[in-house]
Amino acid sequence: MDPINFHIEIEQIRKEKDRARLLRATQWWKRKIAKGICYYCKNPVKPKDLTMDHIVPVSRGGLSTKGNVVPTCKTCNNKKKQLLPMEWDQYLKQISEKE
């Protein structure tokens, strides 16, 4: 990879992470986590245990915008990080069939 592009990419990721931090401090986000529901598995979660997840990860060009961040439980957040996109789709299918 071109080292200059690589550097820009790191800068962008850093910027989006800063933006996510700001977003987490907003009333908008506080209202979202106050509902206490994980966006993916729909399980009830204590607001303090909800984490912010980027639907499209920052590392893949996702932005810290209201349309791209959702509150999720730690289980879903970890799974999303660990699983391959295909396995993640499978997981989502499984939890939606559970209902």
By the criterion CB under 5 A, which residues form the site for Zn ion? Answer: 38, 40-41, 73, 76
In angstroms, give the least distance from the CB of 37 to Zn ion.
9
Residue with smaller CB distance to Zn ion, 41 or 58: 41
Q: How far is the CB of 85 from Zn ion (least distance, A)?
A: 17
Provide, rounded to whole angstroms, the least separation between the CB of residue 49 and Zn ion. 10
- Residue carrying structure tokens 């660990």: 82
Closest alpha carbon to 16 in 54, 67, 70:
54
The SS3 assignment for 40 reads: coil
CB nearer Zn ion, residue 23 or residue 76: 76
Q: Within 13 Å of residue 74, how many CA atoms lie on the same side as its CB?
A: 4
- Measured from the CB atom, the residue of 43 and 68 that comes closer to Zn ion is 43
- Amino acid identity of residue 95, one-letter, is I
C-beta of 46: minimal distance to Zn ion in Å? 12
Q: Cite the beta strand spans of the chain per DSSP E.
A: 51-54, 69-72
Closer Cβ to Zn ion, 12 or 75, answer by number: 75
